Amino acid sequence: MRVVIAEDNVLLSSGLELLLAVKGCEVVAVVDDAEKFHAAVAEHRPDVAIVDVRLPPSFRDEGIHAALRARREHGALPILVLSQYVEREYAGELLSDGRGGIGYLLKDRIGRVAEFIDALRRVAAGGTAMDPEVITQLLARRADDPLDTLTARERESLALMAQGHDNTTIAERMLISDNAVHKHIGNIFAKLGLSPDDSGHRRVRAVLAYLNGAPSPHLR
């Protein structure tokens, strides 16, 4: 797996480079701003990119805009975004094209090496990997929205889906059968108005509906 890293903190970027090398990944470029990131992506065409939300010069949202531009220009390039804090609007913006290959993790998640590498591989494969803390905060904020049609178990299934887990892992986490997970997810798709012809993108659209608190059909 070939990786480009966009991170201005030298200690963090060096640590990521070493960690990924140990795990068998090839880091083809490490850059510290958005323009260098675009140049590196164009030159190396990586399998996945890791991008900090805040990059020079203003350290506000340059990383997010760089990620969105890279996905527009390079066929929905898989990108794992790192952030110091939960910034909900960024997660929704990244997922808004409905194509998958997006992750949003808090930086302290990097210390949990197995989880981080698993999330990166899921994103590179076209899935999603949302930080559990993002999911926790979203659940706490939700009181009266369209997703209230979901049962508690369906919401739990959707929360795990948002983290990027497949049906088998969801079944293990919820201590239920694969068939039960399949039923929960089928109900989620039906209640959110996701048609069968949406194929694999239905999972991403369901996650986007979850993050935005609105039914997926309005996100086309």
Map out the domains of the chain as residue ranges: 2-131, 142-219
Q: State the pLDDT at residue 214.
A: 42
What sign does the CA torsion over 39, 43, 48, 50 have? negative
Assess contact for 92 and 138: CB atoms under 8 A. no
Q: Is pLDDT above 80 for 190?
A: yes
Highest-scoring range by mean pLDDT, 31-40, 63-72, 97-106 = 31-40
> Between 3.40.50.2300, 2.40.50.100, 1.10.150.120, 3.40.50.920, what CATH number should domain 2-131 receive?
3.40.50.2300
Q: State the pLDDT at residue 29.
A: 97
- DSSP track, 20-40: HHHTT-EEEEEESSHHHHHHH
Mean per-residue pLDDT of the chain: 83
Q: State the pLDDT at residue 164.
A: 79
Question: Residues of the chain with pLDDT > 90: what percent?
Answer: 41
Could you give the CA distance from residue 62 to residue 53 in angstroms, rounded to a whole number?
7
The pLDDT tens digits for 126-135 are 888 888 776 6
Q: How far apart are the first and last CA of the chain?
A: 31
- DSSP track, 54-106: --TTTSSSHHHHHHHHHHHHTTS--EEEEESS--HHHHHHHHTTS---EEEEE
Confidence of residue 209 (pLDDT cuts 50, 70, 90): low
Domain 142-219, CATH class in plain words: mainly alpha
* Helix H or strand E encompassing 201: helix 201-212
Q: State the pLDDT at residue 67.
A: 92
Q: Is pLDDT above 50 for 217?
A: no
Chain center to CA of 192: 20
Helix/strand/coil percent split, the chain, to 5:
60, 15, 30
Once rounded to an integer, what is the mean pLDDT over residues 176-187?
Answer: 92
